[in-house]
Amino acid sequence: MNIVAITGMDLTSMQNEMPQDLKERCQFHWFKSSSEAGEHIADADVIITAGRMNPDTLKQATKLKWMQTISAGVDKLPLLEFAERNVILTNARGVHTIQMSEFTLSLMLQWVRKANLLHERQQSKVWDNQVTFGELYGKTIGIIGAGAIGEAVARKAKAFDMTVIGLNRSGSPQPAFDSTVSGEEGLTSLLSQSDFVVLLLPSTAKTRGFLTKEHLRLMKPSAFLINLARGDVIEEEDLIMALQEGKLAGAALDVFEQEPLPSTSPLWNMDNVILTPHIAGSSAHYAERVSNIFYHNVRAFLDGTEMMNVVDLTEGY
């Protein structure tokens, strides 16, 4: 089986540490770009990608049977074409659980402990011991998207004695949550009760524009919004207006409608906004974790057993 990886991520370890039994059954080639991959694309049974695929590359891959993304999101891939060609698509769902849940808690602590202000004081050499702080203790966190990452956030939030509400499609109870809701009524309840709202939704046709201007109005003026999902799950202009008008205390944003975030965006200069450049899922252990998913799937594909993280091409996740 010919495996062609096309990504700028360093996959040296994935290539070198592949179990011996798989090395004997596969040929693994890693290229940083499709132009480097060249003629290898035409012979690829499997392609590994970071979540994007040049249409011309896909046309060349006439033997393609399966594509593995090393990202969780598949919204930039031609799902309809995969369905038409009977190409299996698997993603890296689960690879972000540890780092993104830790990142979420770090953002909440950064907000309540006023880390940005303290850093500014340090840079200005100002000794100010009269700064007052909030706490996570006793606060309510609402997690929109109660999947694997959401559950990890919930478990860590419980360690800070927070109340955790989760929203998923079914509303079925989840072990780490105090309550789980669903639908518009459940979303209304979650937003009105939460001191922190965390967006962890996938980007699909159903979730684009998920959080509307009306939803933002349901939130407490003291609430803090964290978006680690995709920039298009919320209307950026509506969020900016809510932050500027004090209808929302603050926000931490790792994803945006346009990336990189344009220098003209007012978000850059807002004191109540924490910005990060789509790095919530980054980790020194990323390649190791995604390799374990991929090795499982290679063996399952070859042996005809169950693969991990098979994407529903109709639903988009």
Distance from C-alpha of 144 to C-alpha of 168, rounded to nearest angstrom:
7
Tell me which residue of 75, 74, 42 sits closest to 56, measured CA to CA. Answer: 42
Q: Per the residue annotation, which of 96, 215, 230, 289 is the catalytic one?
A: 230
Q: Per the residue annotation, which of 121, 278, 296, 299 is the catalytic one?
A: 278
At which residue do the structure tokens 């060249």 appear? 38
Helices (H), the chain: 12-16, 20-23, 34-37, 55-60, 79-85, 97-112, 115-123, 148-158, 183-193, 213-218, 236-244, 286-303
- The question of whether 278 is a catalytic residue gets the answer yes
Residues 6+ positions from 302 with CB-CB distance below 8 Å = 1, 22, 25, 26
Q: Per the residue annotation, which of 259, 285, 288, 315 is the catalytic one?
A: 259
Phi–psi pair at 4, nearest 5 degrees: -120, 115
Distance from C-alpha of 286 to C-alpha of 289, rounded to nearest angstrom:
5
Contact 202, 72 (CB under 8 A): yes
Residue 128, burial from CB neighbour count under 10 angstroms (0-12, 13-18, 19+): exposed
At which residue do the structure tokens 């699909």 appear? 204
Q: In this structure, which long-range contacts are made by residues 66-70, counting pairs with CB atoms below 8 Å and at least 24 apart in sequence?
A: 66/90, 66/297, 66/301, 68/92, 68/293, 68/294, 68/297, 70/7, 70/9, 70/95, 70/290, 70/294
Distance from C-alpha of 308 to C-alpha of 317, rounded to nearest angstrom:
13
- The question of whether 93 is a catalytic residue gets the answer no
- The question of whether 151 is a catalytic residue gets the answer no
Residue 310 carries which DSSP code?
Answer: B
| Dmax (CA) of the chain | 67
Residues annotated as part of the active site: 230, 259, 278
